[in-house]
A and B are shown apart, each in its own frame.
Chain A
Amino acid sequence: MSESKKVSLPVLGEVDRRTAVKAGAATLGLAAWAAAIKPWFEWTAELNTDEFLQKHYRELSPEQLQAILNRLTDDARKETGKAVTVKDHKPLPGVSFAYALNLSICIGCRKCAEACHVENNHDRPSHQSYIRVFEMQKGGIDFEKGDATYSHPVPAKDKYYMPVQCQQCENPPCVTACPIEATWQESDGIVVVDYYWCIGCRYCEAACPYHARRFNWEKPQVPAAEVNPNQSYLSNRVRPQGVMEKCTFCLHRTREGRLPACLEACPTGARVFGNVLDPDSEIRWVLENKRVFVLKEELGTKPRFYYFFDK
């Protein structure tokens, strides 16, 4: 319509005016666009170029990894004023971890969840933890009748308590789901996340049948005084915003021969942890002598986290 008008007469003024208006509109549009996405640049200004270009954890040379650990340690020390160390704990040969939990003596005090919160430098305001403790109705193992938000003295009558955390599946659906191999299983059975590789698509969180994964919906806030200074690259260092995290069986402790924080915190001794390849270990004794079961066995995920009743 307007096209035919232009062609009919050599009215150059009309064409030029339109071009000028269009150019003006385009300039305005670009300016508006720049203003609209300004918050993006406020955010990228705080980012580190090395971190942006960093390769996948498993492709880093020992020197590159060391440089990253040094940088992380320096940054954490500057930020907290504490003697933080960020190490890289490798899986030990001949070790395959397993966890067992005695449901007969767990009283649902949530000390394990609290210890996890502190040990793993979790976000304080959201009171994040890798462990959720369910108050269950005696007479079955039915989560539909369970409640993880109870707030009354424990143990309550006719209830038992079921803490649930990452089951460190031998056949982990979260690892299969990840489009970029940002999460994988290590030789000792622990499933880890490279916080610098994860893009935060949360497909693993949808895939996990145990509600074991957590997302950093914002930058985790941990007051400097409360930061746990003993940190590891793949476990409890303070996570970046927008990435997944999960229980690592406290690999920064367990790969040094210590026990997970949740186990140490348990006042009833309901938790048993160890190397199943060690015939003299307590975990081996439990697996051989107690009638243990796993959650959602029918899914074929093969958890390394076992439950059992004592009486």
Chain B
Amino acid sequence: MHYAGVTTYYRFLRRSLHVATDGGWLFYAWMLVLTAVALVGANAWAVQVRDGMVRTNMTDHVSWGLYIANFTFCVGLAAGGVMMVIPAYLYHDHDMHEVVIVGEVLAIAAIVMSTLSVVVDLGRPDRFWHLIPVIGKFNWPVSMLTWDIIVLNGYLFINLHVVGYLLYTRFRGRTPDPRWYVPFVLLSIVWAISIHTVTAFLYCGLGGRPFWNTALLAPRFLASAFVSGPAFILLVLRVVRVGTDLPVNPGPSRLLVQIIRVAAVVNLLMLASELFTLFYAGGSHLASARYLFFGDHGKHGLVPWIWSAIALNLIGTGLFFTPAALERGWVRPVACACVIVGIWIEKGMGLIIPGFIPSTLHEVVEYAPSLTEWKVTAGIWAFGLLLLTAMLKVTVAVFTNQMAEPVEAAGPGPTTGS
């Protein structure tokens, strides 16, 4: 019996690998482009490790840049998937339950991207083992970074378990046992909130950085994550509906649009509240915001970024409020693209970078990412999308019962199910 279990699992993995690498011309072209970009990124990173972080445009004044900016966004993306889980499991929305796995799969890819974004930011990735509890020296519970490592890895494993369990049981033609996954799904709801809260605490816990040192940071992170996450899922659902045989009802997407409507307004409201406090009260807390929005000491590097973000967020939110956003048309993907790019800027170039400008001693040293940083970041996205595509292929195949082996290949081993 035990032996049969192992071979069945092996067959599942083998079939998954097959399904994940099999498709039409468009699929191969997509995977080829992603692989190429990922390789360019890997090469840029290897060169950066060899030559030093001098390959980036970071300095002792702006000591975190595009990598940590992208990290922050990706954590939000991972947390955003919970906005499918809550309706599916807490409100028993049947249609959402059918496609909720898409959100969990996205969470896995997004967590991998956030982890990679931190790894490429390390000056000494060869000493990664120092972070491993017990064999390294894990400064828990004092350092917020250790909390972040725990919650991000925890979230990854919870989602890997849920997705893996659901796919494998369906592959075997069995009904998933709720005891084996519902508790983990419920845990993942709390955990999703925690990953983005702790990520905000990384920044807002620093007393020396007034721009980040605000209690509103974690709520803002969550609100914007509940826009960018569902928006990304809407795009994925569109691709799944158009490109695969998986039936996708209109209900879940409409619900996600409704969620985005609320979260986007809350996000903009909190942004306005933050800006009012900064600009009306003035003082030293204002320095970064003034530089970010209007420039300071004749330097304006971030001004185009932040106004693009504000424009994109406003346009995207406006589009989501049109009735057309509830229908299957072009309005919805455009709105999604607007808020995804808008929030990517708002959380990165518009939040991480100005935390360093001016510096803690009020020196204005500007920062714009180097080509190496762009290549590495593009590589991380390409790798994340590769992973996402492969996992979605398997998911769709399992859910549409297309995992069966070609007839001839069936050998003398144990038969499916029992």
Spell out A's residues near B (CB within 8 Å).
1-3, 6-7, 10, 12, 15, 18, 22, 29, 32-33, 35-40, 42-44, 47, 52, 56, 132, 134, 143-144, 146, 148, 164, 173, 176-182, 197-203, 205-211, 213-219, 240-243, 296, 299-301
Contacts and interface: CB of A to CB of B under 8 A. Distances in A.
A7 B118 CA distance: 44
A218 B404 CA distance: 53
Interface string B386-406: 000000000001000010101
Contacts of B121: 201-202
B39 interface: yes
B64 interface: yes
The 10 closest A-B pairs by CB, nearest first: A200-B123, A209-B208, A242-B123, A218-B52, A179-B145, A143-B362, A43-B50, A36-B43, A39-B46, A218-B54
12 contacts: A3-B19, A22-B21, A132-B361, A148-B361, A148-B363, A180-B136, A199-B131, A200-B53, A206-B356, A209-B360, A213-B60, A242-B124
Given A2-B23, A134-B361, A219-B52, A179 B206 contact: no
Contacts of A146: 361-362
Given A176-B143, A206-B356, A216-B52, 10 more contacts: A22-B21, A39-B50, A56-B130, A144-B362, A177-B145, A206-B355, A207-B208, A211-B61, A218-B53, A242-B124
B208 A296 contact: yes
A179 B207 contact: no
A144 B291 CA distance: 12
A240 B53 CA distance: 12
Interface of B: 19, 21-24, 35, 39-40, 42-43, 45-47, 49-54, 56, 58-61, 63-64, 118, 121-128, 130-131, 136-139, 142-146, 149, 202, 206-209, 284, 287, 355-356, 358-363, 397, 402, 404, 406-409
B50 to A, nearest CB: 4
B35 A29 contact: yes
A10 B118 CA distance: 49
A176 B145 contact: no
Contact of B127 (A6, A197, A219): A197
Given A33-B42, A209-B208, A296-B208, A2 B130 contact: no
Nearest to B28: A25
